[in-house]
Amino acid sequence: MAMPFSILLLIITLHFDFTLGLTEEIETFGTLNPSLNQLDQEDPFLINILKDKYIVKPPSPETPYNLSYPPDDFPIKYMSGQFRQPVIVNSILKNKKNGFFVEAGAADGQMFTNTLLFELFHKWTGLLVEPNPDFYESLSYKHRRAYTFPQCLSTKTTPEIVSFDASGLIGGIIEPDKIKPGDIDRPPDLNRRWYHRRTIKVQCFPFYSILMAIGNPRIDYFSLDIEGAEMPVLRTLPWDKVDIGIIDIEVNHMGKVFNGSVSDLTEYMDSVGYKHIETAGIDYLFRKKSEIKKKKRKKKNRSNEL
């Protein structure tokens, strides 16, 4: 007897994660345009289409926030990240006003945020990157004073369509034949019921293309927490064409999804002009060496004046 088409379609579209005993649905988030995957990150057409079709501009200043607390009374303990990274960076930058941040892995724009402190206390703006549709919906609702980007950062210098493990705060790009980000170092009894885990298809775009689409601003603080894909994303950057002061990188998944150990990261960042200046929990903070030297010269000049 022939199998009914509806049953055949169900078998094709549903995949089972036997490790977790969960049904995993494959769905698409956003518009997938494979023709864009042929374009180099500096291609003007790609940059223009990102500007016109993908990047969401900040809301008007008159638009009220939708945060859990009033902006003027938001407790700093809820803006201190997972390991006080924003507090450390704020101290390094000496309460800098009107800066620019990028947070890749922005989640809902509030939970474990590394950038809200700068936005509310020091009038910064920036770019918030979040490919998980569940988080992005909530992020968009918050009305953060920043560009938002509902796609992922490419691990190549061209766009790419990837499978993405949408598993709450622990999701990320799936690399074939490697462990899924949502399964890395997770206890078997981890409560996953508070989020809808599934695999989705997402189109990722080169970070440099995105920066060009918003005018390639000076970035004072770049927070990169994308569950194992940090190293290949960093390698796509033309470092002589971007201006980034401090880079905060989550390192505990290095080498588990994509190649590259923590020592490889440190060596690479040194080779492109950055020094490891601080460790905050599972994050490494790097600062542009030229800015460290500039700070030392200023101190020396002040000493000579005394």
Torsions phi, psi for 51 (to 5 deg):
-65, -40
Give a yes or no: residue 105 inside a domain: yes
Q: What is the CATH number of the domain that holds 101?
A: 3.40.50.150
- Count Cβ neighbours within 10 Å for each residue of 5-19 and write b for 16 or more, e otherwise: eeeeeeeeeeeebee
Number of folded domains that form the chain: 1
CA distances from 51 to 43, 91, 139, 227 (A): 13, 33, 19, 26
Read off the amino acid at residue 280.
Answer: A
Cβ 169 vs Cβ 81: under 8 Å = no
Residue 204: closest CA among 25, 86, 56, 37: 37
Give a yes or no: residue 249 inside a domain: yes
- Taking the C-alpha atoms of residue 242 and residue 57, their distance in angstroms, rounded to an integer, is 21
Give a yes or no: residue 7 inside a domain: no
Give a yes or no: residue 5 inside a domain: no
Give a yes or no: residue 122 inside a domain: yes
The whole-number pLDDT of residue 189 equals: 57
- Taking the C-alpha atoms of residue 277 and residue 274, their distance in angstroms, rounded to an integer, is 9
Q: Which two tokens stand for residue 188?
A: 């078997």
Give a yes or no: residue 23 inside a domain: yes
- Reading the chain (306 residues) residue by residue, the pLDDT tens digits are 444 433 333 333 333 232 333 344 577 777 899 999 999 999 999 999 999 999 999 999 999 999 999 999 999 999 999 999 999 999 999 999 999 999 999 999 999 999 999 999 999 999 999 999 999 999 999 999 999 999 999 999 999 999 999 999 999 999 999 999 999 987 665 555 567 889 999 999 999 999 999 999 999 999 999 999 999 999 999 999 999 999 999 999 999 999 999 999 999 999 999 999 999 999 999 999 999 977 665 655 544 454
- Taking the C-alpha atoms of residue 173 and residue 187, their distance in angstroms, rounded to an integer, is 20
Q: Which range marks the domain in which residue 246 is found?
A: 13-305
Give a yes or no: residue 297 inside a domain: yes
The whole-number pLDDT of residue 293 equals: 73
Q: What is the DSSP code string of 171-224?
A: -EEPPTTS--GGGTT--TT---TTS--EEEEEEEE-HHHHHHHTT---EEEEEE
Say what the pTM is: 0.87
Residue keyed to tokens 């949408």: 166
Give a yes or no: residue 8 inside a domain: no
